[in-house]
Structure 1
């Protein structure tokens, strides 16, 4: 009898324990609880490609709908003076993922298709993915890479457990390659293996679906994850589905409407990724960054009110849509107006995850969390530098002033960014001492840099743009000194 009683008691205890375990398992991936929020945050970097400053609603865009990005921004902090680390694609990504000025390790220009032998970001440089993986994170890279095509430079060799995307700088959105020479750059690969064309659709949707599937797989693990979701939208070629183009059919300018379709596709994809994170109970404890690798490419993009575009160092080439959101760790609904730069993402991730990185002193970024929380009131950076083509063009932002050497204009510019953020009034002649001060700052900083590891194709584009500009100006004033009978 006692044995039976003991057995029944044991069964009762077991039932209670199993019920408790079942109840716990039901809540693990529904909504965040105290235990979920207490663990290290997931980290998601979403990168747009050639997106103009004025092409998102949270920066005032009214014609291209970006409701999902706008909602993400309202939950976080909008950086109104957020800068890319470079004015074009590959170097910008080098700075982002290493947290360092890319000129320090020779990656200040895009890879060249015309050179034999391997090219890529030096393998002795540490990526944020390396650091997070070593700390126990699951890591994945999805989308455009543009940091090396040979195997030793692939994401799977740079701290990413999983990879879906292509290694080049641009590609067709419908799975077609432009030419045989570029084929390796354009192949869609999953962990290095080519993905058959029949398994591909519209590229932006493919990247979104891959991210959603990864989140589904992640919920089976107790480890936090890091996702680098690098859309190649809205980079050329300008290709979008009819579904997305229907959302921009009210735009009369054809180039703007077509370009807007790419932005809509990316925004809707981001909305699906966020919805999946909410469904999995992971949204609250995910640290998001969204920004563009550089300014808009000019075909339907809008950098206004800023001067310039992708490829130059006026504000339109480097000031980009930029936000940070972390619902569990950061109060939303804010704007931060002091200059910050993409290098800060690496250092801010270290702060949020409380990782003690042994090489943190070698980074060029700043942990932004104390600044956006109002605990630190000074400027995140005393100076910010940019350089392309080994100094053919460069810029310095120091306090209220900005120095620009832009090859497309072949002159030095000095602007007071506090009173002239649109860069309309050149103070170089009026303030020679300030001009020389910033030139000396650049010269001193540049001593720690090296020449680029491969030739830069960018000057060709600069000179072409310069020639087009000069022809237009000359044509506009060509009749000024002619007599009436000469027309």
Structure 2
């Protein structure tokens, strides 16, 4: 069954048609109203499968709150992250730059602690918004280094509640001794710089903390990076979610994954309800995305049974399944509801977009750091500017690489374990979203043009500051 014929997608298309008929007055307001400085809420899921939300075609478990969030704003159907792995992807979002420009190519798990993590000279979105008078917080997963200098509160965040590394258990107990690992920690939730014993379910605790923090002093606008570890491994089922898993789902890993997704969707509902009940919804810009694609292949790459169809590939690959993600943006009365934006965008665009909105003087926003690769998407979302925000998008992940220009995608993923690829492959994503029909032999001139553009882009990248695991980086890196 194609996505277009899927019941959930049919429902979505009906909703879009309904919204387009009933929101003409709101669209007129969008053209004339002058927005103030909004609160900014970026919600990032972890390893979310592209096809697991109802609005994305998922049908095994309802995701009504995420579907409603998507319907309340703009759903970007060609949205990407800058890496198919957790930490480098987040480094790109936090800086607005391709993380390969500053050596943050792999997860910072192996090496000297003082050097592992987002390089200290890089400026984060939190630092920039703080300079504009925003209060800032990170709740949930950090994964940008665990030394004192790499701590979130050393990188622009006023407050931090969460964990520092790549993975963490969900079922927390106060009487369990915390255990640290550079890739995974256990019962090691920090408040600020100190571990604070917790009892309960991590997703719920992060949501509780977000509700508390958003209810803080109203004298300043705020920026919250709500960074859930759901639906990343470990696949632990909370007792209150057990009955929500359909009996028709037999695979244990899939059952556990769907429970994590149900808990995430519940939390989105609580967040939205809180914003509405406290009069914050209309003045809050919400962006939802995943840090990379789902990991649907056992037993490698933190396997969580996420589904990425109709995309090919998974987490850890520069195929579409590793880098194309669900992406919704919602801001009542300012961004049109119930619409789809189809031009390619990337998570690097979030920083320049929100920094423009956060400027005390919109006519004279503070200069962004040099080398920003993202662009301000607001003129495109408001139909004030046509065309594509990017001429091309690029990826490098160890020996894997890719470039997208228009509908063309050139990708080389041959060094990925178990890959049957033999070099550059060319796909027309307008007709082949699943990357099944390699057109490299039929269009050698396009292959040469895109390969040259990738090589030119790669000249501004540097060697990784630390090496990845054999899974990430199976061969020595060369430019």
Is TM more than 0.5 here? yes
CA displacement 1:222-280 (0-9 Å, x = unmatched): 11110000000000010121322322224423232221100110111111111111111
Deviation at 1:177, TM superposition (A): 7.5
Does residue 398 of structure 2 align to residue 422 of structure 1? no
Corresponding residue of 2:351: 346
Within 5 Å, give how 1:366-445 maps onto structure 2: 366-389=375-398, 392-406=399-413, 407-408=415-416, 409-445=421-457
Question: Do structure 1's residue 302 and structure 2's residue 302 form an aligned pair?
Answer: no
Unmatched 5+ residue regions in structure 2?
Answer: 1-33, 297-303
Which TM-score applies when normalising by structure 1? 0.83
Who is 1:11 aligned against? none
Q: Match for residue 17 of structure 2?
A: none
For 1:236 and 1:410, the matched residues in 2 are separated by 31
For residues 70-469 of structure 1, the aligned pairs below 5 Å read 70-113=67-110, 115=112, 117-175=114-172, 181-182=181-182, 185-186=185-186, 187-196=188-197, 199-216=198-215, 218=216, 220-254=217-251, 255-298=253-296, 299-354=304-359, 356-359=365-368, 362-389=371-398, 392-406=399-413, 407-408=415-416, 409-457=421-469, 459-460=470-471
Q: Which residue of 2 aligns with 1:13?
A: none
Secondary structure at the residue paired with 1:263?
Answer: helix
Shift of the alpha carbon at 1:180?
Answer: 5.4
Determine the C-alpha separation between the residues in 1 that align with 2:184 and 2:126. Answer: 24
Report runs of 4+ in structure 1 exceeding 6 Å deviation: none
Structure 1 residues without counterparts, runs of 5 or longer: 1-36, 465-487
Partner of 1:473: none
Q: Distance in 1 between matches of 2:171 and 2:213?
A: 22
SS in 2 for 1:151: coil
SS at match of 1:64: coil
The aligned residue for residue 65 of structure 1 is: 62
Determine the C-alpha separation between the residues in 2 that align with 1:57 and 1:76: 16
Contact preservation (8 Å) 2:348, 2:374:
yes
The DSSP-based 3-state class of the residue aligned with 2:171 is: coil
Secondary structure at 2:282 match in 1: coil
Paired with 1:101 and 1:154, the residues of 2 have a C-alpha distance of 21
Q: Structure 1 residues 155 and 328 mapped into 2: Cα distance closer, same or farther (>3 Å)? A: farther
CA distance in 1, matches of 2:150, 2:449: 39
CA shift, 1:58, in A, is 1.5
Cα 1:378–1:184 shift into 2, 3 Å: closer
Alpha-carbon distance in structure 2 between the residues aligned to 1:149 and 1:200: 23
Give 3-state SS (helix, strand or coil) of 1:411's partner.
coil
| Cα deviation, residue 113, structure 1 | 3.5
Which structure dedicates a bigger proportion of its chain to helix? 1
Q: Does the Cα contact within 8 Å between 2:400 and 2:412 map onto a contact in 1?
A: yes
Residues 1:143 and 1:251: Cα distance change in structure 2 (over 3 Å): farther
Q: Give the Cα separation in 2 of the matches to 1:315 and 1:245.
A: 32
Q: For each residue in 1:312-339, what CA deviation from the matched residue of structure 2 results, as whole angstroms up to 9, or x when unmatched?
A: 0111111111110011321211001111
TM-score (norm 2): 0.84
Could you tell me which residue of structure 2 aligns to residue 9 of structure 1? Answer: none
